[in-house]
Amino acid sequence: PPTALALLCGSVAALAVWRWLGERQIQQKMEEARRSRDQGVKRMEKAVQRFREQISHVQSADILSLPLVQLARRLREGSLSPETVLYTYIEKALEVTQQTNCLRHFIPECEELLQEIQQRKEKGLLYGIPVSIKDHIGHKGHLSTCGLVQFLNAPMQEDSVLVKVLKKQGAIPFAFTNVPQSLFSYDCSNAIFGQTLNPLNHKKSPGGSSGGEGALIAGGGSILGFGSDIGGSIRLPSSFCGLCGLKPTGDRLSVCCSPPPPVPCVLGPMARDVDSLALCMKALLCKEMFQLDPTVPPIPFNEEVYLSSAPLRIGYYDTDGYFPLPPCMRRAVHETRDALQAAGHELVPFAPPRIHYVMTELFLKTFFADGGKAFLDLFTGNIVDPGLKPQVNCYRIPTLGKKLLALILKPLVRSLPLILRLKSYCGSICRSVSKMWNHQHQIMAYRTEFIASWRDLRLDVLLCPVLGPAFNTGYPGKLLTAISSTMLYNVLNFPAGVVPVSRVTEADEEELKLYQGYCDDPWDRTLKQAVRGAVGLPVAVQCVALPWQEELCLRLMKEVETLRRAK
């Protein structure tokens, strides 16, 4: 009837208007956030200009080229002023973010903090060092957005413990760096602040989720930065951008907002060399850290272990058997193994047990025990970034549909490796909460199994591959399962670090053409497309130690770095 038709049309029109108003409101919030960022950039440009007018003869290139250890020493002894160093790095950060879009916002309070630390009688280990921090690390009066619209109106009420300790040690947080939407991606793009580019090649991603940190440090705009890691988010940007990065054991450093166990999120440093990471850990593992967060074990940095020259017994492998990496990444492991052996260390083949089981039964099920509902809730009232759409669309499949698909694929698993990966991807995100206790027990049992294999071989540390080289932009969202090389050590809660050792050669690019991966399926072919065109980009390896042995992990990283430089 005409009346019913009119009501229906009116309801549809009202719904369309309501949706339009909602989307308009979202757009307005995002535009305001971008205006605020742009205003912050202009403010810092004026601050740098004022400084340049006062002191025109600054050797910026010399300051920017100093390693962190040398810069910290010169600041403490007074041959460089904190003011000169801060504005030099702000000026460089302005240049880098103009090219790569790596900054989310400057921290204007850095100028006040600069004046305050110069009045102190005691100079901390990081006195006068400008540091950058990832978007979601809490700083009083500033947002922690995670690239999501709903967090644009909730500034932090106080500094996180990490920021408090950095300030206590004399460091000056001066900038927040960009992140992917929701942080659950190893690209670096969100609908609010856009795509961050790799400073070494603007067609490439800087990695993620600490991709803004990777881009800023690799571009020279920061000497020390802080990211977070729950599946590789410190190590992957370090690999993609040619940096050194450390994922500590969970709770070795205070974390302001970590998901519950059994796979912890951790904060960690990123820098241009291993000594910088060691100095940073030494500075952070102090009484202030232990007093402010009693859940952090009071274990100071053991410099004796880090500086030791005793030969190491090092396990190694070049593939985990789940997602074979490009030829250049395996080459890096082989060359590093040979160099370590020639330097007097003992290298022992090691096979990480049951990576398919870890990836599907332990890692993915940790985050999607509710079928992905909590993850999807993050996007309520948000425009989904294009790089995340493949993941989001997969999680939007109804739970019953996921279960049916996993059940249909189960009989084919043994005969077709492709089906194993597809089935595991579907089956891993449709769990019942009643199985959570058993799931946690499975993780603890696997850790025990892994440590037993480690102990049987009497290993000190482990050398293994890391995902790389840098992906072309837009590809990380299509290959979530490619992070098995880093994810493993989040599940195990082992400290793990990345150090660059080589660069992609023309020969690597030619060999890539023959790459077939594990089963020459769509995932393997997509990986091939993701990494092509990488000649000249960094190639890294991963170093691992047992829990609470960050110093030993850094020791291996330093040994690898030294041997690389000696080539």
Confidence (pLDDT) at 15: 72
Whole-angstrom distance, CA of residue 245 vs CA of residue 561? 12
Q: pLDDT band at residue 415, thresholds of 50, 70 and 90?
A: very low
553: nearest Cα among 360, 269, 233: 269
Q: pLDDT band at residue 84, thresholds of 50, 70 and 90?
A: very high
How does pLDDT run across 128-157, given as a tens digit for each residue?
999 999 999 999 999 999 999 999 988 999
Tokens of 514: 């023959």
In the set 134, 168, 204, 423, the catalytic residue is 134
Confidence (pLDDT) at 217: 98
Average pLDDT over the chain reads 91
Could you tell me which residues come within 8 angstroms of residue 300 by beta carbon, excluding any fewer than 6 positions away?
282, 285, 286
Average pLDDT over residues 265-273: 97
Structural domains of the chain sorted by starting position, each given as residue range(s) with its CATH number in brackets: 53-305 (3.90.1300.10), 307-370+432-566 (3.90.1300.10)
How does pLDDT run across 484-518, given as a tens digit for each residue?
999 999 999 999 999 999 999 999 999 999 998 87
Known catalytic membership, residue 513: no
Confidence (pLDDT) at 403: 63
Q: Would you say residue 467 has pLDDT above 80? A: yes
Confidence (pLDDT) at 104: 97
Between strands 313-316 and 461-464, the pairing is parallel
In the chain, what is the straight-line distance between the N-terminal and C-terminal CA atoms, in Å?
85
Confidence (pLDDT) at 531: 97
Strand partners of residue 8:
none
Average pLDDT over residues 317-345: 96
Distances (CA, A) of 99 to 22, 127, 132, 198: 33, 29, 17, 9
Confidence (pLDDT) at 406: 60
Strand partners of residue 315:
348, 462
**511 three-class SS:** helix
In the set 182, 185, 205, 209, the catalytic residue is 209
In the set 185, 228, 233, 276, the catalytic residue is 233
How does pLDDT run across 353-411, given as a tens digit for each residue?
999 899 888 887 777 777 777 788 888 878 899 888 877 887 777 766 666 666 665 55
Q: Would you say residue 413 has pLDDT above 60? A: no
How much is the CA Rg of the chain, to the nearest whole Å?
A: 24
**297 three-class SS:** coil
Confidence (pLDDT) at 231: 94
Known catalytic membership, residue 233: yes
Q: pLDDT band at residue 414, thresholds of 50, 70 and 90?
A: very low
Share of the chain above pLDDT 70, in %: 92
Tokens of 177: 């760096």
Confidence (pLDDT) at 21: 72
Q: pLDDT band at residue 431, thresholds of 50, 70 and 90?
A: low
The predicted model scores a pTM of 0.94
Residues making up the binding site for substrate = 183, 209, 230-233
How does pLDDT run across 151-161, given as a tens digit for each residue?
998 899 999 99
Share of the chain above pLDDT 90, in %: 74
Tokens of 168: 């206590």
How does pLDDT run across 31-63, given as a tens digit for each residue?
999 999 999 999 999 999 999 999 878 899 999
Whole-angstrom distance, CA of residue 43 vs CA of residue 49? 10
Number of Cβ within 10 Å of residue 448's Cβ equals 9
Known catalytic membership, residue 209: yes
Residues making up the binding site = 183, 209, 230-233
Q: Where are the beta strands (DSSP E) in 187-317?
A: 189-190, 194-195, 224-229, 244-247, 266-271, 313-316
